[in-house]
């Protein structure tokens, strides 16, 4: 095996596949990145949960296949000088040279490398940037507690030309609808994927045009989802369990509504929250076009601030976890936030607006459950 490759292409490919390497895999072979040289080069990494592949073009002298320590390869690739990189298999070792830098890598036994799941049939495509933005808006509400695994996932629901993404940690719920281009116009499918995996996809697969989705048919034993961009693919096992029903949580009416400019609101929230612990409530008092923010009680440090806002409906005193509120204000990704209330112990719904008097963008909703507090 011998080939020469551009350093930047190598770094990009190796970084992508190194993402699925586990530091403590169940098989030693999974510590490796597989380099398969045919007419192009395919790099593969896997922890059996997710598997990633990158295909890069190279100047190929002899074909071959080899397994090298993955983390080491990734570190070496990042440190190489900006010169073409040559790989050469010499017996059981791989020589890597770039300019004057020379490395010798041991190889791992190829025959111990497990058979990785095949990419399922493709089911449709979506623009990468749209998908990435949607994931970033939704994954923020996913749980981080591995003892409740279904809540660490993002629920993905495909219904004809609409995809609905949803995630919740039981304190808030984020729901986003986007359009896609399914291969079969009658596609109906749901799946649940780890939020962390999707964030990786959003970070690395989305610079380039379209992303293709590949969903294993619901009848198959192995529940897999694949993402394919031009040269990179990821196959991930879906999470077990059923995402809790969430549509009935979305309120259908409201008793009060506010429209607030996000920038100044975020600044005020951050200032007032300075006096609290992250889990201590931030109190919001909405009345006649003013919003008063308060935090801290009794002998402790306190802070208050007042904002002029658009407000209609009954006055309301409501308290939120300041971090969750900040998350939501950032996630709506709009200059104005529209908040609708149905009570001080009922979820508030945050949506985005581009103008104070404009229409509400209902494709993204962030439901936030208040905190109970005694004043």
Partner 1 sequence: MSELTILHVDMDAFFASVEERDNPALKGKAVVVGNGIRSVVSAANYEARKFGIHAAMPIGRAKRLAPHAIFVPPNMARYSEVSSHIMEIFRSVTPLVEPLSLDEAFLDVTGARRLLGSGREIAIHIRKKIEASEGITCSVGIATTKFIAKLASGRCKPNGILEIAPDRVIEFLHPLPVSAIWGVGPKTNEELQKLGLRTIFDIANTPRQTLIRILGEASGASLYELAWGRDYREVIPNEVDKSISAAQTFETDIEDQEIILREFLRLTEKATHRLRERDLSARTISIKVRFADFKTISRSKTLPLPISAAHEVFDVVKALFLSLKLDRARLRLVGISLDGFEDGVDGSEQLILGEREKGWRQATAAIDRASARFGQGSVRPARLIEE
- Which residues in this chain contact partner 1 in the complex, by CB under 8 A? 144-145, 147, 168-173, 244, 248-249, 277, 279-281, 297, 319, 321, 345, 347, 367, 369-374
**DSSP label at residue 322:** H
Judged by DSSP in three states, 318 sits in strand
Q: What's the CA gap between 33 and 107, in Å, rounded?
A: 10
Q: What is the DSSP string of 234-278?
A: EEEEPPSS-PPP-GGGS-S--SEEEEEEHHHHHHHHHHHHTTS-T
Copy the structure tokens of residue 237.
Answer: 């096992």
- Other C-beta atoms closer than 10 Å to the C-beta of 253 total 6
Q: Which is nearer to partner 1, 32 or 347 (CB)?
A: 347
Around 344, how many Cα atoms within 13 Å sit in the side-chain half-sphere?
A: 15
Q: Which is nearer to partner 1, 211 or 329 (CB)?
A: 329
- Residue of 35, 3, 1, 38 whose CA lies nearest to 18: 35
Determine contact, residues 110/66, Cβ cutoff 8 Å. yes
Q: Which is nearer to partner 1, 124 or 347 (CB)?
A: 347
Q: Count how many residues are written for the chain.
A: 375
Residue 171 CB, nearest distance to partner 1 (Å)?
A: 5
Residue 145 CB, nearest distance to partner 1 (Å)?
A: 7
Q: What's the CA gap between 358 and 352, in Å, rounded?
A: 10
Q: Which is nearer to partner 1, 313 or 343 (CB)?
A: 343
Sheet of strand 2-5, all strands in order from the earlier edge strand to the far edge: 59-62, 2-5, 85-90, 93-98, 101-106
**DSSP label at residue 142:** S
Q: Tell me the chain's radius of gyration from C-alpha atoms.
A: 25
Residue 290 CB, nearest distance to partner 1 (Å)?
A: 24
In degrees to the nearest 10, what's the CA dihedral of 346, 266, 175, 142? -90
Q: Which is nearer to partner 1, 221 or 374 (CB)?
A: 374
Residue 294 CB, nearest distance to partner 1 (Å)?
A: 13
Residue 345 CB, nearest distance to partner 1 (Å)?
A: 6
Residue 153 CB, nearest distance to partner 1 (Å)?
A: 16
Q: Which is nearer to partner 1, 213 or 324 (CB)?
A: 324
Residue 327 CB, nearest distance to partner 1 (Å)?
A: 12
Residue 325 CB, nearest distance to partner 1 (Å)?
A: 12
Q: Which is nearer to partner 1, 88 or 246 (CB)?
A: 246
- Residue of 253, 180, 187 whose CA lies nearest to 210: 180
- Residue of 110, 148, 134, 102 whose CA lies nearest to 202: 134
């Amino acid at each position: 095996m011998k080939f020469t490759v551009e350093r930047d292409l190598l770094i990009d490919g190796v970084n992508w596949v190194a993402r699925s390497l586990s530091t403590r895999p169940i098989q030693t072979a999974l510590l490796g990145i597989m380099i398969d040289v045919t007419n192009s080069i395919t790099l593969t990494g896997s922890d059996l949960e997710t598997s990633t592949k990158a295909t890069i073009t190279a100047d190929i002298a002899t074909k071959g296949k080899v397994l090298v320590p993955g983390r080491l390869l990734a570190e070496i690739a990042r440190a190489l000088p900006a010169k073409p990189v040559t790989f050469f298999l010499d017996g059981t070792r791989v020589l890597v040279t770039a300019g004057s830098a020379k490395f010798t890598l041991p190889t791992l036994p190829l025959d111990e490398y497990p058979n990785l799941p095949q990419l399922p049939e493709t089911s449709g495509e979506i623009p990468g940037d749209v998908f990435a933005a949607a994931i970033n808006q939704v994954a923020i509400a996913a749980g981080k507690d591995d003892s409740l695994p279904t809540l660490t996932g993002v629920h993905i629901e495909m219904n004809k030309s609409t995809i609905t993404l949803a995630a919740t940690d039981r304190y808030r719920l984020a729901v986003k609808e986007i359009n896609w281009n399914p291969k079969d116009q009658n596609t109906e499918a749901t799946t649940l994927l780890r939020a962390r995996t999707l964030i990786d996809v959003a970070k690395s697969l989305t610079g380039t045009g379209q992303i293709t989705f590949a969903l294993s048919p619901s009848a198959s034993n192995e529940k897999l989802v694949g993402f394919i961009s031009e040269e990179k693919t990821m196959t991930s096992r879906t999470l077990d369990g059923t995402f809790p029903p969430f549509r009935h949580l979305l309120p259908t009416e409201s008793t009060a509504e506010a429209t607030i400019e996000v920038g100044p609101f975020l600044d005020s929230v951050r200032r007032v929250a300075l006096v609290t612990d992250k889990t201590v409530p931030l109190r919001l008092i909405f009345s006649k076009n003013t919003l008063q923010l308060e935090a801290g009680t009794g002998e402790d440090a306190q802070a208050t601030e007042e904002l002029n806002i658009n407000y209609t409906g009954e006055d309301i005193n409501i308290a939120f976890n300041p971090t969750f509120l900040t998350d939501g204000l950032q996630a709506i990704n709009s200059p104005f936030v529209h908040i609708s209330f149905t009570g001080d112990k009922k979820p508030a719904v945050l949506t985005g607006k581009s103008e104070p008097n404009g229409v509400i963008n209902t494709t993204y909703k962030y439901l936030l459950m208040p905190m109970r507090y005694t004043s």
